[in-house]
Amino acid sequence: MPKISMRQAINDALHLEMERDPRVIVLGEDVSGGAGGTSGEREAAGGVFGLTKGLLPRFGEDRVIDTPISESCIVGAANGAALTGLRPVAEIMFADFVGVCLDQLLNQAAKFRYMFGGKARTPLVIRMTCGGGMNAAAQHSQTIYPMLTGIPGLKVVVPSNAYDAKGLLLTAIRDDDPVIFFEHKSLYMDECEVPDGDYTIPFGEAAMVREGEHVTVVALARMVPLAIGVVDKLAAEGISCDLIDPRTTSPLDEETILESVRATGRLVVVDESPPRCSVAADIAAMVAEKAFHHLKAPIIQVTAPHTPVPFARELEAAYLPSPEKIEAAIRKVLGSR
């Protein structure tokens, strides 16, 4: 099986699904780029990280829509297109820009079906780049999925590798509910084996990345490869961990996490979002409520601090959860037995 990057896997999924379903359209800022420029190069960008490259020449301007910088209208138009029979995949260039267009997610897309008594279908995907690691500072680095996970009516996908990204994106586009698809920018070039063809990964099914007996580690997005490194290192010392990647935060596969905690009695949750009202806190609370008597030690959360994402290399490195912090947490949760 060929090894490809997450960027390539997402691009492949978009090509596949646009080919398969003529109702799929792509819209966003610079999804092709070049319109109105002086070079005459029509596909001058293909997305700011190249995720949508090749779509315009293949599928044309009606289905690959370069929009003005208007996040509210991008999401709003995706909402309207979805309500009326298309399956739009909109791109918000950086997840941070949800601050500009939150209404169209929070009050519109998420609520149409419920407010309208079950009659609305809003099959849309909003792709957005998230996460730190590129020194992009406070307004281009956040992982805001906790905020959107808290909105009933949205589904939220947080892939950690190329294989999952492709299968989950195909599921997302075929899903009849609004789906927010988070792409961690520091994972775009990470490669793994990805099948050429069509396959889907269901929502709400966590991946058991490593199996062990002493500690349950739950990690999201870029924290998954970091945690793999730590878990594999500790395995050499005889400390074995279940490593669970939920893959979707809404719906959340509670049962896989609970089952693991019932066996290990110890939980470390790793996420690079700030700690308050986060997915990590949500998982910790869920386990405390539903598996309290199985716990042999207090749950430990490894998160970013309650600050904005800083710029300088040293500051961002200190801000983000690191392998060292994850390892320390696993040792600590074991030490308090």
Q: Known catalytic residues?
A: 140
Closer CB to other proteins, residue 73 or residue 286?
Answer: 73
In the chain, the N- to C-terminal Cα span, in Å, equals 43
Closer CB to other proteins, residue 77 or residue 194?
Answer: 77
Closer CB to other proteins, residue 17 or residue 175?
Answer: 175
**One-letter amino acid for residue 306 of the chain:** H
10 Å CB burial of residue 101 (0-12, 13-18, 19+) is buried
Say what the alpha-carbon torsion angle 217, 220, 221, 222 is, to the nearest 10 degrees: -50
Q: Are the CB atoms for 102 and 95 separated by under 8 Å? A: no
Please select the residue that binds other proteins; options are 19, 41, 103, 193, rule is CB under 8 A.
103
- Of 49-57, 74-82, 301-309, 322-330, the window that binds other proteins (rule: CB under 8 A) is 74-82
- Of 6-14, 103-111, 135-143, 186-194, the window that binds other proteins (rule: CB under 8 A) is 103-111
Residue 172, interface with other proteins (CB under 8 A)? no
Residue partners of 195: CB distance under 8 A and separation at least 6: 1, 163
Closer CB to other proteins, residue 50 or residue 251?
Answer: 251
Closer CB to other proteins, residue 75 or residue 302?
Answer: 75
Closer CB to other proteins, residue 120 or residue 263?
Answer: 120
Residue 84, interface with other proteins (CB under 8 A)? yes
Token pair for 256: 């896989």
* DSSP helix/strand/coil, 35: coil
- Sketch the per residue contact string, 118 through 137, with other proteins: x for CB under 8 A, - otherwise: xxxx----------------
H/E segment holding residue 126: strand 125-130
Tell me the closest approach of the beta carbon of residue 278 to other proteins, in angstroms. Answer: 22
**HSE, side-chain direction, 13 A CA sphere, residue 285:** 8
Closer CB to other proteins, residue 93 or residue 226?
Answer: 93
Residue 112, interface with other proteins (CB under 8 A)? yes
Tell me the closest approach of the beta carbon of residue 8 to other proteins, in angstroms. Answer: 27
Residue 88, interface with other proteins (CB under 8 A)? yes
Please select the residue that binds other proteins; options are 42, 44, 67, 133, rule is CB under 8 A.
67
Residue 147, interface with other proteins (CB under 8 A)? no
10 Å CB burial of residue 236 (0-12, 13-18, 19+) is exposed
Query: What gap in Å lies between CA 245 and CA 184, rounded to an integer?
Result: 14
Query: What gap in Å lies between CA 193 and CA 1, rounded to an integer?
Result: 6
Residue 80, interface with other proteins (CB under 8 A)? yes
Positive or negative: CA dihedral 68, 103, 248, 232: positive
- How does DSSP classify residue 188? T
H/E segment holding residue 282: helix 279-290
Please select the residue that binds other proteins; options are 155, 214, 222, 247, rule is CB under 8 A.
155
Please select the residue that binds other proteins; options are 83, 93, 125, 320, rule is CB under 8 A.
83
Residue 302, interface with other proteins (CB under 8 A)? no
Can you name the residues that pair with 269 across neighbouring β-strands? 218, 301
Residue 177, interface with other proteins (CB under 8 A)? yes
Q: Under the rule (CB under 8 A), what is the footprint of other proteins?
A: 23, 25, 27, 62-63, 65, 67-68, 70, 72-73, 75-86, 88, 103-104, 107-108, 111-121, 152-153, 155, 175-177, 251
